[in-house]
Structure 1
Amino acid sequence: MERAKRYGSRYGAAVVLAAVVSVTGCSGAPAQTGDKPGLSVPPVPTGPATPTATATAGRDEPAPQEVLVEVVVNGGFAGVRNKLVVHYDGSYTTRSGTKPPKDGRMTATEVAALRAALEDPAYAKVPDRPSGPPVADGFQYFITYHHRLVVAGDGERPPALQRVFSALPEGGPPTSP
């Protein structure tokens, strides 16, 4: 028991010494954070930890490769599941069944139109779920924008949702397998 206490205190001293070395550096001199003598800690950086956002006019702008909107279409007679992902920089990828993904790029004007459609207050009022009965062998559309999922069925596209689809590359993901 005596021996365990002795080794435990040596281990504890080593941990403290390692912490001091990591804070002060190998020279033993304190990190310079001001004119105060003694042990000090380097300043903690403020702002985003990664270059994924930059402050613009008081709000964070997403990084160009962040997803702006994702649209998935399911259903139909053939049972399709196709997907369109558009990034803030206008690049997009369409996946259709087992075919290789297809990449493209929207113009700055097209991206601005899509963002305007998605940020339209009328779009925020589009119901999250279909309100009518499902259409037999119809398609369901799943639109994700800013962590909000809107599900729409065939024939259930209010004007604000239709404006989003009109602004999407190729009008959204294909409905063919």
Structure 2
Amino acid sequence: MDAAKTRRRGAELEAAILTAAWDQLVTEGYARFTFDAIADRAQTSKPVLYRRWSNREELLRATVRHRGAAASPQVPDTGNVRDDLIQALRRASGAENSVAAMLTALVSSHFDDVGLTPAELRAELLGSRSSSIETILERAVDRGEVDADMLTPRVVDLPFTLFRHEYVMTFAPPTDAAIVEFVDEIVLPLIRRA
């Protein structure tokens, strides 16, 4: 360890630790988000970390708060809502996006041992059969309730995309009120016949 690094104190030391913790999380995943690895990456010792955070969850929360405070998202203003939304979503999908990086690190850690992505596991679960949503929408087209031209693959997947999003963000199934909102306020307006 270099002597200058050992003299860091207070806010400077904490910022260095939290930056190292973020780097550890996004490059190595949550499984390797350990006090040993973070202390090594921050060029400090484990006792220094334990004086500030008593466990990995506390350190993770502090790391995420630190990263969130440092990020200053730019809100697009192109002059129209469509282009603003597209730009915002493109930025969110970029490698520099904190939320995307964090979710990828956390979720991928759970699949390291299995070797499959959630999409691959879903494909295994469904096999060659259609999803229930596809069947429901085909029936709705036959009854004249739904515009078949609106049923792109992304729109067909939208109900479960909303469901998965809610589940990933809360680690709990969507409430009944959320499910009704997904259908009534988001999906049906997209697919109903004019």
Pick the TM interval, shorter chain. Answer: under 0.3
- Greater Cα radius of gyration, structure 1 or 2: 1
Give the strand-richer structure, 1 or 2. Answer: 1
TM-score for both structures, normalised by structure 1: 0.22
| Higher helix proportion (structure 1 or 2) | 2
With the length of structure 2 as denominator, give the TM-score of the two structures: 0.20
